[in-house]
Amino acid sequence: MKIYDDVRGAVDLCHRDGTLKQNVAKDPSKYIYQDENLVPLLQMLRKTGRSVFIVTNSLWDYTNVVMNYLLCGRVGKEKNLDWLQYFDVVITGSAKPAFFRTDSRSPLFEVDLKTGFLMNTDNGTPMIPIGAPDSMHDAGDLGIYGDGGKTNNHMAEDQKFCRVFQGGNFRHLHRLLDIPSGSQVLYIGDHIYGDILSSKKGMGWRTMLVVPELAFEVEVLEREKDTPETLRKIRKERDLLDDRIHKLEWQLQAADTDATHQLDSSKIEKDLEGLYRQKVHLKRMHSEGLKQYHQHFHPIWGQLMKTGVQNSRFASQVERFACLYTSHLANLTSYSPSKSYKALEDMMPNDFP
């Protein structure tokens, strides 16, 4: 427990003091995988009339660093705001999962794209500071009051870019994008609790979980596709053996309690000894085979979605709260934006022949 506390404390500290993000900003290529399919995907979604948004816990400065590299390959002084053209709304500092809570009353601020300063809004509508001209045009749109907006006028000069906010809650997002109901949203995230579970339970959003480890696991599943069937055959053979053992044990017990049963107890006991040995052998074969199979996925943790032969806790959460799951967001480029995804047929044990 002490090791956990130390590691958790160190991770939390490097998040709070900016150490982690500063190192990423210095060399994004060392930490961020750049996928050339992301921009075509975002363009396809926008061209087909879909609204695209970002909701992130990162603040504007770090979000700008990551998205510049991810979508435009720009770092350092080369950064600009071009990446915003692929989105309709960006919300930073969202404090997920609190962002998805129905009782959240977090205020929504607009971010000045040139300074990073925050400006008050009324559910996304700009609020004119006391003493400023009544006309936002006269005030330099959303510039910092005091210089007429000449220094920080992002709305006039950067009109082609989407608006960027900080804080707020899901109601603000629904208003900004005119979303009539949560079922109209497909939200894609990589955190089962912070992204998927909270948005699904709270607002009924459609959800897609990104699980990067799946790419490798699918390769292993294909390479070892015969192993699960071999293990199932061993389990079935062991189950049949158990049935035989139970039947003989019952016969032996019945012979001991009822003198009318004419059975050769010594023969039954001898048969049982042989069956017990077979059972131990099959159990060892299955355990060793299952262990080796899981080690193909990870030498310690094994297969991500399995605990032994049953679904892991993580897999149960994915099945319950993720409408879709995939190894990478860009996999969506293989499908039409209008594709309707159907749920798999549910099966009970008695449904199998």
Concatenate the DSSP letters of all residues of 88-106 into one string.
SEEEES--TTGGG-TT---
Highest mean pLDDT among 122-131, 153-162, 230-239, 259-268: 230-239
Tokens encoding 126: 């700009």
User: What integer pLDDT is reported at residue 159 of this predicted model?
Assistant: 55
Distance, in Å, from the CA atom of 196 to the CA atom of 211, rounded to the nearest integer, reads: 12
Position 352 confidence tier, pLDDT thresholds 50, 70, 90? confident
* Backbone phi, psi, residue 210, to 5°: -95, 120
User: What integer pLDDT is reported at residue 256 of this predicted model?
Assistant: 67
Contact 278, 241 (CB under 8 A): yes
**Nearest Cα to Cα of residue 198 among 292, 97, 299:** 97
User: What integer pLDDT is reported at residue 260 of this predicted model?
Assistant: 54
Average pLDDT, the chain: 88
**Nearest Cα to Cα of residue 158 among 127, 116, 122, 112:** 112
User: What integer pLDDT is reported at residue 135 of this predicted model?
Assistant: 52
User: What integer pLDDT is reported at residue 58 of this predicted model?
Assistant: 93
Position 344 confidence tier, pLDDT thresholds 50, 70, 90? confident
User: What integer pLDDT is reported at residue 307 of this predicted model?
Assistant: 92
Instruction: Work out the angle at residue 3's Cα, subtended by the Cα atoms of residues 20 and 296, and round it to the nearest 5 degrees.
Output: 80
Terminal-residue alpha carbon distance, the chain: 48
User: What integer pLDDT is reported at residue 259 of this predicted model?
Assistant: 58
3-state secondary structure of 299: coil
10 Å CB burial of residue 280 (0-12, 13-18, 19+) is exposed
Q: Is the pLDDT of residue 48 over 50?
A: yes
10 Å CB burial of residue 233 (0-12, 13-18, 19+) is exposed
Cβ–Cβ contacts within 10 Å for residue 172, how many? 22
User: What integer pLDDT is reported at residue 263 of this predicted model?
Assistant: 66
Q: Is the pLDDT of residue 351 over 80?
A: yes
Q: Is the pLDDT of residue 267 over 70?
A: yes
Contacts of residue 22, defined as CB under 8 A and 6 or more positions apart, other chains included, come to none
